[in-house]
Amino acid sequence: MASEKQRSLLLESTSRFPIPPGVRFSYGTAGFRSDGLILGSTVFRAGVLAALRSIKTGHAIGLMITASHNPIFDNGVKIADPDGGMLTQKWEPFADALANAPDPQHLLDLVVQFAEEENIPLCGTQSAEVLLGRDTRPTGESLLETAKQGINAIIGAVAVDMGILTTPQLHWIVRSRNKGTKASEFDYYAQLSKSFRCLIDLIPENIVKSEVDPKVLVDGANGVGGEKLEELKKMLKGLDIEVRNSGKKGGVLNDGVGADYVQKEKVAPSSFGSIDMGLRCASLDGDADRLVYFHVLSASDNSIDLIDGDKILSLFAVFIKEQLSILNRNENDDVFNSLPARLGIVQTAYANGASTDYLKQMGLEVVFTPTGVKYLHKKAAEYDIGIYFEANGHGTIIFSEEFLSLLHARSDELSVSMAGSERHKAAVRLLAVSQLINQAVGDALSGLLLVEAVLSYMGWSIVRWSQLYADLPSRQLKVKVADRNAVVTANAETEVVQPVGLQKLIDTETAKYPRGRCFIRPSGTEDIVRVYAEASTQEAADRLANSVMQLVYQFLDFTNSHV
Ligand SMILES: CC(=O)N[C@H]1[C@@H](OP(=O)(O)O)O[C@H](CO)[C@@H](O)[C@@H]1O
Ligand SMILES: [Mg+2]
C-alpha cells in the first residue's frame, strides 16, 4: 500500500509537469522520443518508472536522455535494466500508460495499482537508486533535472547524476555497479584501453603489417561519441585516432554526419572527402551506440564503400571462430581438453543476404529476430558466445557467465601447462574480447577498438575486409500510409499476415528477380511502413522496392476505406 505521504508527494510533483495536449507517447524500440520541448511530462514519468523498477529489482537502474541519430531538437528517454540491457518488455505497457495518464490523479491510480500487482512496496521504507546520463542535446540538461524530480517523487529513491555520457557508457556503468565491479566512467576507459592493449600485444609476430594503415579517421556525428573518444584516446597506446565532427567546431549534431546518415545515404559525412580516399574511416551515431566503417571511393564525389553492421559482425565472427578453433586445436594428445562453445550469430531481415550466405558458408549458426536490439540481445544470450548486429551498426558480442568461468579456468590451466602457446594466447584473447566489448549493449567506442584490434591481428586493410563478400544491391523505402499498424507480420517480420493476400503478391513480384528478396514491416520509431528489397542488380532492387510500395498503397488504402 502506498503511504499517505507518498500519495500526496506524487500528486503534487506530477502536477508540475502537465502532459501536452493532443500527443500520444509510446515506449518503442528506442524508448520515448519526440521534440525535446514537449518531453517534460514524459521524462518526469520515466523517472517515476525508473525508481519503481529499482525498488522492484533491488538494484540500480539507468535513465538516459538521448534521441540518438534524430535531429538536434528532438530528445528522448530510455531506461536500462539492472543487467545494463533494455527495460524488460513486460513493463513497456506500464511505461506507455504512465506517459499518457491525463492528470495527476490518473497517474497516482496507475502507480498504486501497478505497485500492488507487482508487489512493489510504497510505504516509505524502501530504497532505490537511479543513475542518470544525457547526451549533448540542448534540451538535455533541463530534461535531466526533470527526470530527477520524477525519481524524487518516489520516497526513498536516490537520483545519481552521471552527467554527459554515451548511451552505452551509462548501460555499462549500470551493469558494472550491479555486478559490484568498478563502475565509474574512468573505469570504463581503463577497462577498454587495457583489454585493447592485451589484444594488440598478442598479435602474432609474422603478421604482415604493411597493408594496414596505422590511422583511423572517426566521424563523431558532432555528438557525445566524438568527445568521449578524445578522452579514451588519451589512455590508448598503439592506435592513431583522428576524431572529426566532435561538435567542438560548430557542426550540428547528426546534420550531414553520423552513422545513420552514412549508412542510409551511402555517402561520406561532412568534413570527409576526396583527400581521405583509401583511408580507413568510421562513423558513430549521435549517442555512440552505432558504428559503421567506410572508405571514400572517388576523388570527384563523396561516394563511399560502406562497411556496415553486417560486415563488422562478419569480421568479429571470423576472429572468434578462429580463436575457438585455436583454443581447441589438439597440439598434444596428453593434455588435450577441449572447451566446446556454442557460437550463435543473430541478424534481422535487414541483414544483407550476402552476409548471411557468407556466415552460413563458414559453418556458423545464423538465426533471425524481429528488428530492435532488445530482441537480438535476448536471442544472443541463449549461446555461450552470441554475436548480434543490425545492418545499421548496432551490435555487440555477449559471453555467457558459465562459458566465461570455464574460459577463465582453462586459461589458468594453460598458463601453467602451456604458457605462451597459441592455445593459451587464444584463451587470453577471448577473455580480452569479453572485457573490451560492451556486454550490456552495442557500443561504438568498444566496437571500434575491437575492429581495430582484429584488423591488426589479421593484417587486413579496410579494402581486404570489405572483400569478405560483396553486398547484394538493396533498396529501402519509407511508405506513408494512414495506419501503419494495419500491417501485421510474422516469421521475424519477413511475412505479412495482414492485410490478407498482400504477401502472395509480394512473393509473385519478388520471384521475377534473380536473388530477389523483399519484405515490409511497420516501423517502430517512425509513422511509416518500411519496404526492403534486394536483388542481383541495383536497378532490379529499385524496381522491386517500387512495385511493392505500390502494392502497399493499394492494400492499405483498401484496408483503411473498409475499416
Ligand atoms: C531499418 C532500421 O534501421 N530500423 C531501425 C529503427 O527501427 P524501426 O522500427 O525500423 O523504425 O530504429 C531502431 C532503434 O534505433 C533500430 O533498432 C532499427 O534497426
Ligand atoms: Mg543510437
Inside any domain, residue 175:
no
Using alpha carbons, select from 393, 390, 369 the residue that is nearest to residue 489: 369
Asked whether the beta carbons of 265 and 143 are under 8 A apart, the reply is no
Inside any domain, residue 331:
yes
Q: Choose the final residue of a domain: 427, 444, 466.
A: 466
Same-domain pairing of 435 and 549: no
CATH of residue 451's domain is 3.40.120
Same-domain pairing of 363 and 239: no
User: What is the residue with the minimal CA distance to atom 6 of ligand 1?
Assistant: 525
Ligand 1 atom with least separation from CA of 521 = 10
Inside any domain, residue 190:
no
Q: Choose the final residue of a domain: 256, 285, 307.
A: 307
Using alpha carbons, select from 402, 460, 397 the residue that is nearest to residue 429: 397
Active-site annotation holds for 68: yes
Q: Parallel, antiparallel, or unpaired: how do β-strands 215-219 and 280-284 relate?
A: parallel
Residues with CB under 6 A from ligand 1: 29-30, 68, 350, 371-373, 390, 392, 523-526, 530
Number of compact structural domains in the chain: 4
464 carries a ligand binding annotation: no
Same-domain pairing of 118 and 76: yes
Same-domain pairing of 156 and 290: no
Residue 300 has a pLDDT of 82
Same-domain pairing of 447 and 514: no
Q: Give ipTM to 2 decimals.
A: 0.98
Same-domain pairing of 266 and 356: no
Inside any domain, residue 300:
yes
Q: What pLDDT tens digit does each residue of the chain (563 aa) get?
A: 789 999 999 999 999 999 999 999 999 878 999 999 999 999 999 999 999 999 999 999 999 999 999 999 999 999 999 999 999 999 999 999 999 999 999 999 999 999 999 999 998 788 999 999 999 999 999 999 999 999 999 999 999 999 999 999 999 999 999 999 999 999 999 999 999 999 999 998 877 665 677 899 999 999 999 999 999 999 998 899 999 999 888 899 999 999 999 998 899 999 999 999 989 999 999 999 999 999 999 878 889 999 999 999 999 999 999 999 999 987 665 556 788 899 999 999 999 999 999 999 999 999 999 999 999 999 999 999 999 999 999 999 999 999 999 999 999 999 998 888 999 999 999 999 999 999 999 999 999 999 999 999 999 999 999 999 999 999 999 999 988 989 999 999 999 999 999 999 999 999 999 999 999 999 987 789 999 999 999 999 999 999 999 999 999 875 444 33
530 carries a ligand binding annotation: yes
Same-domain pairing of 32 and 160: yes
Which residue among 13, 41, 54, 68 is the active-site one? 68
Residue 211 has a pLDDT of 62
Same-domain pairing of 257 and 282: yes
Inside any domain, residue 329:
yes
Same-domain pairing of 144 and 281: no
Residue 563 has a pLDDT of 33
Using alpha carbons, select from 125, 122, 102, 126 the residue that is nearest to residue 111: 122
Instruction: Give the integer Cα–Cα distance in Å for 334 and 417.
Output: 11
Q: Strand, helix or coil at 278? A: coil
Inside any domain, residue 193:
no
Q: What are the φ/ψ torsions at residue 537 (nearest 5 degrees)?
A: -130, 160
Asked whether the beta carbons of 50 and 79 are under 8 A apart, the reply is yes
Ligand 1 atom with least separation from CA of 390 = 19
CATH of residue 506's domain is 3.30.310.50
CATH of residue 246's domain is 3.40.120.10
Q: What are the φ/ψ torsions at residue 171 (nearest 5 degrees)?
A: -60, -40
b/e per residue, 365-378, with b = 16+ CB within 10 A?
ebbbbbbbbbbbbb
Reported pTM? 0.95
Same-domain pairing of 8 and 154: yes
Same-domain pairing of 226 and 123: no
Instruction: Give the integer Cα–Cα distance in Å for 423 and 442.
Output: 28
| Inter-axis angle of helices 40-57 and 140-152, nearest 10 | 50
Q: Choose the final residue of a domain: 435, 466, 497.
A: 466
SS (H, E, C) 28-80: ECCEEEEEHHHCHHHHHHHHHHHHHHHHHHCCCEEEEECCCCCCCCEEEEEEE
| Residues with C-beta atoms within 5 A of ion ligand 2 | 68, 285, 287, 289
SS (H, E, C) 521-543: EECCCCCCEEEEEECCCHHHHHH
Instruction: Give the integer Cα–Cα distance in Å for 69 and 260.
Output: 6
Same-domain pairing of 21 and 58: yes
Q: Parallel, antiparallel, or unpaired: how do β-strands 280-284 and 240-244 relate?
A: unpaired
Inside any domain, residue 254:
yes
Residue 562 has a pLDDT of 39
Residue 441 has a pLDDT of 97
Domain of 513 in residue numbering reads as: 474-561
Inside any domain, residue 108:
yes
Ligand 1 atom with least separation from CA of 373 = 17
